[in-house]
């Protein structure tokens, strides 16, 4: 059974492959390997779930294949859930990761409540129009300064609950085990494995 992955991010493709490896009858096809798909999808919903579904629906319609997509971001309690769906462009159009992290530190400069969570929603669309979503959440706090290491995005600022280091300082395998995306993928595997075997 073929499943199109609605992402061009090689790290995400690898993470999805690892989680779904036990279902060895699945062929996971990265968007890059499927010619003729739209390069950009207008993610204009106001929730992670809505945006994940837009991506999966669009590429499912274009390819005729079962399609899996994800959408994720950071929600900060003291900022009423911002940057949320705007995580990638928090500091404005064309901004860099460093701009986003600087803006977040600025917004929280006088704030003692540092609670935040990463959220990831994974959507699955079937060519016959059926749709499913699952999500994963990783709770934590926002550090007072960047702790650079590996990772990307807000990793240098996010300390997951139960740890004294940021995502950027964790071993990548450890981050994947507890991250919002890792948890969402584990939930997807548990929820959908029977669907794939029918």
> What six digits make up the tokens of 191?
């929820």
Query: Is 71 a residue of the active site?
Result: yes
* Nearest distance, CB of residue 129 and ligand IMP, angstroms: 24
**Residue number, 72 or 133, with CB nearest to ligand IMP:** 72
Angstrom distance (rounded) from CA 177 to CA 147: 20
Told to check if 156 binds ligand IMP by CB under 6 A, we report: no
Cα angle 176, 180, 185 (rounded to 5 degrees) comes to 70
Closest CA to 76 of 178, 170, 159: 159
87 scored as a contact of ligand IMP (CB under 6 A):
yes
Answer yes or no whether residue 136 interacts with ligand IMP by CB under 6 A. no
How many helices and strands, by DSSP H and E, does the chain display?
Answer: 5, 6
Single out the residue of 67, 72, 117, 141 in contact with ligand IMP (rule: CB under 6 A): 72
Provide, rounded to whole angstroms, the least separation between the CB of residue 159 and ligand IMP: 12
Active-site hit among 32, 42, 71, 164: 71
């Amino acid at each position: 059974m073929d499943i199109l992955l609605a992402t061009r991010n090689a790290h995400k493709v690898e993470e999805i492959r690892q989680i779904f490896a036990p279902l060895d009858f699945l062929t996971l096809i990265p968007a890059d390997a499927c010619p003729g798909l739209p390069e950009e999808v207008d993610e204009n919903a106001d929730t992670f779930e809505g945006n994940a579904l837009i991506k999966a629906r669009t590429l499912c319609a274009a390819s005729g294949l079962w399609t899996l997509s994800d959408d994720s971001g950071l929600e900060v309690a003291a900022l009423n859930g911002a940057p949320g769906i705007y995580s990638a462009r928090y500091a404005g159009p064309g901004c860099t990761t460093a701009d986003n992290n600087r803006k977040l530190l600025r917004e929280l400069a006088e704030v003692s409540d540092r609670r935040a969570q990463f959220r990831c929603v994974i959507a699955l669309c079937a060519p016959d129009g059926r749709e499913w979503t699952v999500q994963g959440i990783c709770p934590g706090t926002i550090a007072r300064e960047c702790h650079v290491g590996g990772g990307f995005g807000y990793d240098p600022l996010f300390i997951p609950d139960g740890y004294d280091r940021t995502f950027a300082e964790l071993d990548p395998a450890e981050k994947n085990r507890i991250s919002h995306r890792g948890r969402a993928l584990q939930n997807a595997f548990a929820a959908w494995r029977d669907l794939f075997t029918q």
